Homo-oligomer: A and B are copies of this chain.
Amino acid sequence: MSHVLALSGGVGGAKLAAGLSAVLPPQDLTIAVNTGDDFEHLGLTVCPDIDSVVYALAGLNDEKRGWGIADESWRTMERLGALGEAQWFNLGDRDMAMHIARSWRLRAGESLSDVTARLTGALGIAHKVVPMSDAPVRTQVETEQGWLDFQHWFVGEQCKPEVRGIRFAGLPAKPSPGLAAALARPDLAAIVICPSNPFVSVDPILALEGVRAALESRRVPLVAVSPLVGGQAIKGPLAKMLAERGMACNNLAIADHYSGLLDHLLVDHADGAQAHEVRARGVAVSVSATVMCTADDRARLAREALLAAGYAMG
């Protein structure tokens, strides 16, 4: 028995998390999910990254739209509009059930870890999906307009305002019991950083008490799957964020960002030319097809990431 800890953000990360859950038995995997994107909207606690991971693992995710739950409709939101409520963040009717169930359970005193275990259990997900923290850590981005809550910038402003800085309100905060336990497992054999935005999906996890130190002093391989394909982010504002920081949109930037943490970077064929320079930084590189369209893609990439971490599958 040996355990894998995956750190994941939303959509891209969720795909690899689903792949890992397809190739590893439940007792061998903990998926710790970013909650820096979470926010309170219309009285509901919305956890976009947890929901992306949960929907992907339950096979409920909308493959075509790329986010949310399949077979969605928007009738509650339409009526909320008629009642004069905010329309900038769309919540689907089927998705709404997650937010309602989560919010009332949190208000009733359950931790986000408890609620997440309850919801994944109800959906038949046997693998451990845990929030990065039970404390409300909230990503904020600094723009010309001042500090904006992440979703206001990401969805409300469609990522348009230039990002001058990023901070995580709510720090210091402890990692969730599930993340802390996975980091401390004597049988921990590999750590995988899923292909998620380093700045807003992975950094919030690294910023939790003791997490970066635990990763820096790790005795097991840490492999990251690059979120870049052909020098672009498949989805989300990563390319824009890199440019606004004066950084190149390539895997050197990714490797530098994870400096001291990374043993192995898995990059796409389209970016194979950067392998040499990344290796020169002391990081091993594997080159593969990292775009995950099918369940087979997800499982194959998961296997490749585990292989890169030297993980012996049962």
Contacts and interface: CB of A to CB of B under 8 A. Distances in A.
Q: Give the secondary structure class of A's interface.
A: helix
| Contact residues on A (Cβ < 8 Å of other chain), bracket | 20 to 34
B122 A82 contact: yes
Interface string A101-119: 1011001100000000011
Q: Which of A96, A119, A121 has the most CB of B within 10 A?
A: A96
Contact of A85 (B82, B95, B101, B123): B101
Contact of A73 (B73, B83, B108): B73
A23 B45 CA distance: 44
A212 interface: no
Contacts of A43: 43, 100, 103-104, 107-108
Given A118-B84, A122-B84, A94 B79 contact: yes
Given A44-B100, A100-B42, A107-B43, A93 B122 contact: no
B73 A93 contact: yes
Interface string A16-57: 000000000000000000000000001110000000000000
Interface of A: 42-44, 69, 73, 75-80, 82-85, 93-98, 100-101, 103-104, 107-108, 118-119, 121-123
11 contacts: A43-B103, A43-B107, A44-B100, A44-B104, A75-B93, A79-B93, A82-B123, A83-B123, A84-B118, A84-B122, A85-B97
